[in-house]
Amino acid sequence: MPSRPALRLVRERKLAELISFPKDGAVLEASGVLARGRDCFVIFDNVRRVARVERSLAPGAPRHGWMGRARSGEGYEDIAYSPRQRRYYLLIEAEKHPDGTFKAVIEECDEEFRFKGRHWVDFAFEERNTGFEGLSAVRWRGHDYLLALCEGNRCRAGKKGLRPGGGRIQVLRRSGMVWRPVATIKLPRGVRFRDYSALAIRGERIAVTSQQSSRLWLGTLRRSDWTIAGAGRSYDFPRTRKGKRLYSTVEGISWLADDTFVAVSDLAKEQHPPRCEPKDQSIHIFRLPRSR
């Protein structure tokens, strides 16, 4: 039996039950989600377009559908929203920069998902497919920031990025046409995740998920010095009775309430056991376990 408490599943649906495929024969490789009002906005790493899903997850709901126009290129890794700027921020994990390195790109859309621009992030990665995975917008002392979660431990790729205990979040602030890091948030060493797949902020509370570890960690963020207060607590995503993982492709998380989250899952790959396939390409609602 697992030693950590487990999240409780409230409900879930395959995304294909709620929205149409963007093109014939495509899959829905969900990679991020943002809850806002009655809707959940879902993004995909194989489609550069945003889908809207009503949070009831009821098939046939009139608000389900695709937003804005599809853009050329690969998809997004996460989505954030700034109420102050009235902007959606769409994260592209990494692209080849003119200086020869791999850097993330952040696109901006208005509230109707009309494209408003794109800007590089001045932070280099070793590999194109191991960059930023999570994004959240915060405001502190009159300034707007984006918090960008590195996929690998210590923002590294390869074996070094899989060594647990080095979770990192880059604090980004816009400077001209570029987002620049102004601080680094270090997750506690006790967060023993092999990778990091999603990030969500609710007031002072911070949530981070891992695909490979199939867990969620909750902590307290101090914006005054961009540090984490205390060790926080980890939770397993629901598992089998024998403690085996069911959710191995969770890539997006967003708060619905103080004890409730919406999450989305990517396509299960060959390395994932068959028991994980019923949970892939899906949207889920989880609740924290009751305190004893």
pLDDT tens per residue, range 108-125: 999 999 999 999 999 999
Q: What pLDDT is recorded for position 24? A: 56
Neighbour order of strands in the sheet with 30-36: 30-36, 39-44, 50-54, 65-67
Q: Which of 5-14, 44-53, 64-73, 156-165 has the highest mean pLDDT?
A: 5-14
Which residue intervals of the chain are DSSP H helices?
Answer: 158-161
Q: What pLDDT is recorded for position 2? A: 47
Average pLDDT of every residue of the chain:
94
Residues 6+ apart with CB under 8 A from 76: 31, 32, 43, 44, 45, 48, 90, 91, 92, 107
Q: What pLDDT is recorded for position 22? A: 75
As a whole number of angstroms, the distance between CA 247 and CA 33 comes to 16
Instruction: Look at the pTM and tell me if it is higher than 0.85.
Output: yes
User: Which of 5-9, 234-238, 240-244, 254-258 is predicted least confidently?
Assistant: 240-244
More confident call, 42 vs 292: 42
Q: What pLDDT is recorded for position 62? A: 94
- Kindly state the average pLDDT of the residues 146-175: 94
**If pLDDT is split at 50, 70 and 90, which confidence band does 1 have?**
very low
Is the CB of residue 63 less than 8 Å from the CB of residue 37?
Answer: no
Is the CB of residue 167 less than 8 Å from the CB of residue 142?
Answer: no
Q: What pLDDT is recorded for position 292? A: 58
Is the CB of residue 169 less than 8 Å from the CB of residue 199?
Answer: yes
Instruction: Write out pLDDT tens, residues 62-87.
Output: 999 999 888 888 899 999 999 999 99
